[in-house]
């Protein structure tokens, strides 16, 4: 089982002009402590269950482009990019450039989009029917793959089109960078994963995830796809401490109340939970670190990751 770190907040201190230094330190720490993946959210404002909407927030692709230049091994991604936020032909170009800058370490994370308030603020049209947004995502993936693979690409879809389009340089990764499709919609989203996804990201409890994977397997069988070829991932928000007393004190100090949309617990409890995700079929668990808590990252790296992956090195303390 592999592990990744997801960055849900760009608040690393009181001075927002220093936020990239905090992000850089976090990504470099993850790279040096046995993690295979580092991702950021692709939003323009903070989402409701993480922090206030006016919290300082970096644009995702700009952030991972900068991280590509200051890391050397860890895989980089947005988790995930809404199909509406960029013309998909431009997104294909952006991702290809980041793949070149990172020397082949980018994953394209994409989803159908859901945050209607963000759409409203930035002037994007928000189709109210999820089925429309999912069909847009499917078209976008088809268009992006065509631009990555073909010398000149033409695509005429219902929502997007390109005409004899040039994309150079092509991505470093061959045949193309992995495509992660996020979401657990059983009738449409998981069917798009079966058709086009190299990776999926499914949230929920271990039982939820196991059931979604079974549905994905059925879709794979329907389209003639090898279910085992798709990397199955889960994202879980974590806040960890060694003891229940230390956890209670931390929750109080950080303002993590009963409404926390994640797992707050001891190392022992977290190992039990992660083992259940592994048994449900998760290939990589992506830990979204609540409040950028350094101790949670260090406990994960030093006491949990080695139990699931003996090859994961642990070096410096979290900064």
Structure tokens that stand for 169 in this block = 């340089």
Q: What is the pLDDT of residue 311?
A: 41
Query: Residue-wise pLDDT tens for the chain (319 aa)?
Result: 999 999 999 999 999 999 999 999 999 999 999 999 999 999 999 999 999 999 999 999 999 999 999 999 999 999 999 999 999 999 999 999 999 999 999 999 999 999 999 999 999 999 999 999 999 999 999 999 999 999 999 999 999 999 999 999 999 999 999 999 999 999 999 999 999 999 999 999 999 999 999 999 999 999 999 999 999 999 999 999 999 999 999 999 999 998 899 999 999 999 999 999 999 999 999 999 999 999 999 999 999 999 997 444 444 334 3
Enter the pTM of the model.
0.94
CA atoms within 13 A of residue 106's CA, in its CB half-sphere: 33
C-alpha 206/C-alpha 280 separation (Å) is: 6
- DSSP string for residues in 73-107: SSEEEES-EETTSS-HHHHHHHHHHHHHHTTS-EE
CB 63 within 8 A of CB 93: no
CB 10 within 8 A of CB 22: yes
Residue positions counted in the chain: 319
DSSP H or E stretch at residue 269:
helix 267-280
Q: What is the pLDDT of residue 309?
A: 75
Q: By C-alpha distance, which of 61, 53, 54, 55 is closest to 13? A: 55
C-alpha 237/C-alpha 245 separation (Å) is: 20
């Amino acid at each position: 089982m592999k592990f990744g770190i997801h960055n849900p907040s760009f608040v690393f201190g009181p001075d927002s002009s220093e936020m990239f230094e905090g992000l850089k330190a976090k990504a470099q720490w993850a790279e040096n402590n046995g993690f295979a993946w580092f991702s950021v959210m692709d939003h323009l404002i903070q989402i409701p269950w993480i922090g206030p909407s006016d919290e300082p927030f970096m644009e995702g692709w700009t952030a991972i482009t900068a991280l590509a230049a200051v890391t050397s091994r860890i895989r980089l991604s947005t988790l995930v990019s809404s199909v509406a936020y960029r013309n998909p032909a431009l997104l294909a170009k952006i991702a290809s450039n980041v793949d070149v800058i990172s020397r082949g370490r980018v994953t394209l994370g994409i989803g159908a989009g859901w945050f209607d308030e963000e759409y409203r603020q930035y002037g994007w049209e928000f189709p109210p029917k999820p089925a429309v947004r999912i069909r847009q995502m499917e078209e976008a993936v088809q268009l992006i793959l065509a631009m990555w693979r073909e010398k000149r690409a033409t695509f005429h879809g219902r929502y997007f089109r390109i005409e004899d389009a040039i994309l150079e340089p092509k991505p470093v990764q061959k045949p193309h960078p992995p495509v992660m499709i996020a979401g657990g919609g059983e009738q449409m989203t998981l069917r798009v994963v079966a058709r086009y996804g190299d990776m999926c990201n499914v949230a929920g409890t271990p039982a939820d995830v196991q059931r979604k994977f079974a549905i994905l397997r059925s879709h794979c069988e329907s389209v003639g796809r090898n279910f085992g070829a798709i990397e199955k991932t889960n994202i879980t928000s974590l806040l960890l401490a060694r003891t229940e007393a230390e956890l209670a004190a931390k929750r109080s100090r950080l303002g993590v109340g009963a409404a926390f949309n994640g797992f707050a617990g001891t190392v022992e409890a977290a190992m039990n939970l992660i083992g259940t995700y592994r048994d449900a079929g998760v290939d990589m668990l992506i830990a979204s670190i609540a409040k950028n808590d350094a101790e949670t990252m260090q406990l994960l790296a030093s006491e949990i990751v080695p139990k699931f992956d003996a090859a994961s090195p642990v070096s410096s303390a979290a900064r």
